[in-house]
Structures are given as structure tokens and as C-alpha cells.
Amino acid sequence: MKLAGAAAVTAALAPATRASASADTTWHTWIDGPSTPGMTSFDNAMLDFMKARGITSGSLAVTTGGRLVKASGYTLNSTQTPPVGQRVGPTTLFRIASISKSVTATAVSRLAQEGRLNLDTPIDQLIDLTSSAGHIVDSRLDQVTVRRVLHHLGGWGDPLVTGFDPMFADVQIAGGQSNLPVTQRQIIKYRSGWGLDNDPGTFAYSNYGYMLLGRVIEAVTGLAYANYVQQAVLAPMGITRMRIGQSAASLPMPTESPYQTTLPLTTTVLNPSGTDVPWPYGGFNLENMDSHGGWLASAVDLVRFGSIFDGNTSVLNPGSVSATFARQDTPLDGDGYYYGYGWFIRSTNGAGVGYNAWHNGSLPGTWTWLVRCYNGRSWSALFNRRDESSDGSGNYNAIDSALWNAADAVTQWPTNDLYPQYF
């Protein structure tokens, strides 16, 4: 059972321009990571995907039966020497964009498991959702529970339908360039100034809703969002590299991939200077997106995070894992999937017992994919570029079927475990 179809609801809003063709480019390639005999189908899938789209940095991690059996970094360059300091390895950090929602939902589930948070509590009882004028605009907010926000049932409209996402409307919220940057509190006050787009219980993918969940975590724990996630979700799994990214080009982590885009320069939203910057480095405020799109991770970090759901870990017990993937009142999409707690989920419908779960992430300069398969396998693929064409001609969703086909081509899976090399 293939998973394609999720990306249409997770793309971030940004002006689009046609991506430049790279079909005639001669690419020189480097693969870094432990040798993995019998897994060349995955290398071929990654390199073919990257060459066809001019992607210069990618990373892949694959697990089976709870073991890490593939961890590779991929570097492409049009010259015979890779750019200095930009050769990608298994622990290279990438912005993971909306896969951050899976991380946030896990933190919320942990609080519920501990009895510190009732998921049926309206979020306006936990955080201030009054408008700038100091009042509640929509009485339906008392129906917007934490559980509904986890499922994207909070009533805020899908930006791809409404044409507006408050997480990408900094200048509008600030009231002009001279008042930048904006804070999360300003975003909440601004968006609270008008009513919900839909009745609570209506599915509409919402970056804003997951930003609010980050504030719920802070209200319940008294800790900064990232600090709680690192302490309660990541550290128990031995994950120490993941952190919230920074927007400015001058502030990357030492092991972070650079980001590329074919979009034209845009005016920075990080300060009032009016400076033109590349979209990945100031076209949006990544720090404000912390709980819906702000995390950095390596591919090995993400499959390790995904192993929380393999069984009874110190992070989530079996009941919490089951609740994460339960359908509850989430409607099926026309393509046959639904949204659980931070994951898209589709029944395997005869292909095996259980379900496939996934999330992707999309920002200018970022395309990411995390998959958990019904058969006990998982993989994560991270790239430093996405399709910016107005018609989607780059078809970045093709990585989904490419990796499924790569898995199908493996005739004998490795029996070793690479996890001890990284955790």
C-alpha cells in the first residue's frame, strides 16, 4: 500500500515559480555512511530522485524489525569536488518542517498519559485566545478541545482553501515592515480577532492549530516547548541532536545542511530592515513555527523517534500508542486516509495486518518524509530543496513510491543494527 497523497495538505504557503530543469546536468555523487550490502536499491532511488530535480543534499535512514539497517548521506555537485563543508552524512541536520507535528503530538500524548492534561479540555481554558481587543470573538471556541486540535478538527481553515495562513503572514500581522519581527503571542492575538472558518469537528489542516499546541505544552509544564520535548520525548530515546532551527543564514547549526530554492529573493520578515533574502533564510520565521514546523533532525534521529511507536517504550505506553493511530472521529479523506495524533494513517486493506502511517514536511528549501510501514519497517528521507513550480511538475511526492519500490527490491535484509553507532 503506497502512501502518496499527503503532500497536498501539508505544503506551506509561498509564492511559486517554475523550478529550473536539471536533466542535462552531469552530476557527481557521494554517498556517506556505513556499508550496507544488499541495500543498493535505496541508494539508486535516492540518487535518481535527486538528480532528476537538482537536489544537492539528501539523507536516508531505514529500519526493519526495530533495527537500523541503512544510514546514508547523499551529496550531488556539478563539479568533481563537493562544496567545502557540505558533504552530507547520516547525522547531518535538516529542517523537517511539518514532521514537527508528529513530535508535538507525541509530547501532548505524554502529558495525557501522565495525567497532566485532559485531551478533552477546550484549549481556551489552557491558553489565552482573546483578541487584541481583549474578548473572545467566536463562542464555538469552547468546542475546540486539545484532542480536536491534534486531529486538525479545530475549526481553522486549510490555508490551501482560505488562501491565508497566519504562520506566513508576518508583515500583515505586524502592521507593516517597520514593526517586524512578530511574536507567537502577536500571531495568536491577530488570528483571534475573527471567528473560526469551520465548525469544530471539521477537518482542515492547520499549522496554526499545532502552533497553539506548543503553547498548551508550555502552559501545562511551565517549561519552554522545546525543553519539554527534549526532556520527555527525545532524551529517553537517546536523541540529542534535534533542536529548533533558526531562520537567519548566519545562524545554522555546524552540522546543518544548507537550503536551496529557485524562488526569487523576498523581503525578510526577521527584522524591519527591508533586506532582500533567499526564501529559506528570512522568507518566514522558523522560530515562531517551533511546534508545527520548526525542528531540525537527521534521518537517523527521525526513525529513532518513530521507534517510540514500536511498543512499550519509556515515552509512550501501548495505550498511548494505540490512541495515536486510532481513527476516533476523524473523517476519511477521499484518498482513504485519516489524521491521527500527528500522523496521516491508512489501513493496509488486505496488504497486511494494520496500517501505514506517515508525515511529510514542506518549506522553501525543505522536503522531508517519514514513513512507518505495516510490516515493521520504517524510513526517513530528507532533502534541502522542494518543488517550487506552480503546477507541481517536479512531483516531489514521487519519493514515496520510489522508496517503497526500493524496499520491495531488497531480497535479503541485513541482520545487523546500526543504532549503536548513533545513539
- When pLDDT is averaged across residues 167-179 and rounded to a whole number, the result is 98
pLDDT tier at 83, thresholds 50, 70, 90: confident
- The per-residue pLDDT of the chain, averaged, comes to 92
pTM of the predicted model as reported, rounded to 2 decimal places: 0.93
User: 7 versus 116: which is more confidently predicted?
Assistant: 116
Q: Label residue 328 by pLDDT band (50, 70, 90).
A: confident
- For residue 137, what pLDDT is reported? 83
Task: Report the distance separating Cα 125 and Cα 115, nearest Å.
Answer: 17
Average pLDDT over residues 241-267: 95
Instruction: Give mean pLDDT, residues 347-369.
Output: 87
DSSP for 331-346, written as a single string: PPPTTS-EE-SSSEEE
Give the distance, in angstroms, between the CA of residue 165 and the centroid of all CA atoms in the same chain: 16
Determine contact, residues 26/63, Cβ cutoff 8 Å. Answer: no
The pLDDT assigned to 23 comes to: 58
- Structure confidence at residue 410 (pLDDT): 98
Judge whether residue 13 has pLDDT over 60. Answer: no
| CB-CB contact of 213 with 149 (8 Å) | yes
**Which DSSP string do the residues of 231-287 spell out, in sequence order?**
IIIIGGGT--S-EE---STT---TTBPP----SPPEE-SSSTT--EE-GGGTSS-TG
Cβ neighbours of 180 (radius 10 Å): 20
Q: At what angle do helices 40-53 and 398-409 cross, to 10 degrees?
A: 160
Band of residue 350 on the pLDDT scale cut at 50, 70, 90: low
Bridge partners of 347? 355
Is pLDDT at 126 greater than 70 in this prediction? yes
Q: What is the mean pLDDT of residues 323-332?
A: 84
pLDDT of 249 > 80? The answer is yes
Q: What does DSSP say about strands 377-383 and 28-32: parallel, antiparallel, or unpaired?
A: unpaired
Residue 9 pLDDT level (bands cut at 50, 70, 90): very low
Query: Which class does domain 7-98+235-421 fall in?
Result: alpha beta
Dump pLDDT digits (tens) for 198-223: 999 999 999 999 999 999 999 999 99
Where does the chain hold its CATH 3.40.710.10 domain(s)?
7-98+235-421, 103-228
Q: Are 398 and 1 in contact (CB under 8 A)?
A: no
Residue 4 has pLDDT above 50, yes or no: no
Q: Which helix H or strand E contains 52, and what residues bound it? A: helix 40-53
Of 137-141, 144-148, 264-268, 402-406, the poorest mean pLDDT is in 137-141
pLDDT surpassing 50 at residue 21: no
- The confidence band for 1, taking pLDDT boundaries of 50, 70 and 90, is very low
Residue 134 CB-density burial (10 A; 0-12 exposed, 13-18 middle, 19+ buried) = exposed
Distances (CA, A) of 180 to 186, 212, 277, 330: 11, 21, 15, 37
Decide if pLDDT at 336 tops 90.
no
Residue 17 has pLDDT above 60, yes or no: no
Q: What is the percent of the chain where pLDDT is above 70? A: 93
**Would you say 217 and 105 are in contact if contact means Cβ atoms under 8 Å apart?**
no
The pLDDT of residue 10? 34
Q: Decide: 68 and 60 in contact? Cβ < 8 Å.
A: no
Average pLDDT for 157-169: 94
What are the pLDDT digits (tens) for 258-302?
999 999 999 999 999 999 999 999 999 999 999 999 999 999 999
Q: Which CATH number fits domain 103-228: 3.40.50.300, 3.40.710.10, 3.40.390.10, 3.40.30.10?
A: 3.40.710.10
